[in-house]
Amino acid sequence: MEQTLSIIKPDAVAKNVVGQILSRFEAAGLRIAATKKVQLSQADAEAFYAVHAERPFFKDLVSFMISGPVVVSVLEGDNAVLKHRDLMGATNPKEAAPGTIRADFADSIDANAVHGSDSLENAKIEIGFFFAARDIY
């Protein structure tokens, strides 16, 4: 069993499609082990995306991620990290396969609806960023 971190980003929360996105995870066999709605501070977003600090889009990414609340969840299941990435689709929604979350709900590479951990190692770090062990069942 793997665990991975999902973030439903401010654009998708504003579109009121949180339930539709969480349903896709459940339909694909992932279980919601923890979930909550959070308003990130600038310091939170900078720390979470620290790996991208030197990228040209970093400032825009941080501004976008604090533009409204997000819904963070721990998803659990077989092969959860890759399964979740497949459900999300490509980073740029124009390149995302039909039927993926980003193809259906994202408007641009900035406002791209969801985040998902890209490895088991990063999943552990990202889950720890948002949840204590006692919050995950």
Q: Locate the DSSP E strands across 11-87.
A: 31-38, 70-77
Q: Which of 116, 126, 130, 131 binds ligand ATP (CB under 6 A)?
A: 116
Q: Examine the residue annotation and report whether 115 is marked as an active-site residue of this protein.
A: yes
Q: Which of 18, 82, 103, 109 binds ligand ATP (CB under 6 A)?
A: 109
Least distance from Mg ion to the Cβ atom of residue 91, Å: 7
Binding mask 53-72 for ligand ATP (x = CB under 6 A): ----x---x-----------
CB-based burial label for 48 (10 Å; 0-12, 13-18, 19+): buried
Give dist(CA 10, CA 106) in Å, integer: 11
Amino acid at 64: F
Whether 70 contacts 129, CB under 8 Å: no
Whether 118 contacts 85, CB under 8 Å: yes
10: contact with ligand ATP by CB under 6 A:
no
Least distance from ligand ATP to the Cβ atom of residue 49, Å: 7
Footprint on this chain of ligand ATP (rule: CB under 6 A): 52, 57, 61, 91, 109-110, 112, 115-116, 118
Catalytic residues: 115
